[in-house]
Amino acid sequence: MLITTNLAYVINFEAPEPALNLEGVENMTWNYRVIYLPKEENDDSFFNQDSFVIREVFYDDEGNIEFWSSEDASPMGETFEEICDDFDNMALAFEKPILMLSKDADGEEELVELDDEEEV
């Protein structure tokens, strides 16, 4: 399930999807992950290219991916130290397996771990 972490979207009454129930989200674990976005089939536009991005990924109590941000992440903070800490947290994404945005049997987007043998 793909959602945006922008709270303004969640409470926007004109959102294309129903507002999300965020109960319990504060207890979820999350981290930054590198995500491979393959180019979309049947799209011959110049900007349709394979790409890698860093996004926030949220997990349930058992460590399964529950949802992820729709926007690419960039480090931020209210102080210089906070932005440095956020950058360090973001750098940890390079130590984890790459995730790929894919579609399940029902056509829903999902994140799957790339095999070590897969070349992208």
Q: So where are the chain's domains?
A: 7-113
Q: Please state, in angstroms and rounded to a whole number, the distance separating the CA atoms of residues 96 and 28.
A: 19
pLDDT in tens, 27-62: 669 999 999 998 777 766 767 788 999 999 999 988
- pLDDT at residue 49, rounded to an integer: 83
Q: Is the pLDDT of residue 14 over 50?
A: no
pTM of the model: 0.70
CB-CB contact of 54 with 101 (8 Å) = no
69 band by pLDDT with thresholds 50, 70 and 90: very high
- pLDDT at residue 50, rounded to an integer: 86
CB-CB contact of 75 with 90 (8 Å) = yes
